[in-house]
Amino acid sequence: MNNIPIYKIIENDIKNQIKDKSLKPGDLVPSENELKEMYNVSRMTARQALSNLVNEGYLYRHRGKGTFISNRKIEKNIHGVRSFTEEMKEMNREVLNKVLSFVVKKVPKDLKDKLFLENDDEVICIERIRYGDNIPVLYEQLYISKKMFKTIDSEVFNHSFYQYVEKDQLFQISHCMQSIEALKANKDVAKHLEINKNDPVLLIVRNSFLNNGRPFEYVKSYYRADQYRLLQYAIKG
């Protein structure tokens, strides 16, 4: 027992409390200072234990409020095209969207080819935060063609955009091209996701297409790394 580092003892104690359901998803865990007093250790040791549990997905941090027991991480299958709403429903997590901005502007040069637009065409730029069980898990910057969605308004983005595309507009979503990158959260992303600056996030940049080959969205999505894990199904070839 004496050979086990103290931070591991703290980790194991919290894991055991999760296992026996003394601690449940959403419960607040002791702070670094409280753990310091409880285990007679340095604050750095307490911080290491909590950070390790966050990285393993057992805990998540809510800036200004503390550290909490996590739900099971959201599993995002990067092989298919699924909406955020579908992912949340599969996890039995309540969905909430908060639209931060809805702006029409001339298409930026770097988006013309991605959305099949001309120099004078306009795009609608939407920023929103997406919540699962009141936890901000995703911040996105979405761009769509104004001439494709002539009558759309910001209210649509309080709900599922994919549902609007397929059920309201009767388009058929086909496929997407996307890239994935691990980053440290900058000040703005950290603010929107209620995490600390430099905490890990996953940036997924996606260009999505209809079954006629027409692109209908270009989106940059910042996912909280303590809430998500990526799945990919591969066939040997």
173-184 and 200-210: which strand pairing?
Answer: antiparallel
* Residue 229 binned pLDDT confidence (cut-offs 50, 70, 90): low
Per-residue pLDDT of 68-101, as tens digits, reads 887 655 555 555 566 777 777 776 678 899 999 9
CA distances from 117 to 107, 151, 195 (A): 8, 18, 36
For residues 139 and 225, give the distance between their C-alpha atoms in angstroms, rounded to a whole number: 12
Q: Which residue ranges make up each domain of the chain? A: 6-69, 74-231
95-106 and 173-184: which strand pairing?
Answer: unpaired
Give the class (CATH, top level) of 74-231: alpha beta
Architecture of domain 6-69: Orthogonal Bundle (1.10)
Distance of CA 191 to the CA centre of its chain: 13
Q: How many CA atoms lie within 13 A of 212 on its CB side?
A: 6
- Answer yes or no: pTM beyond 0.85: no
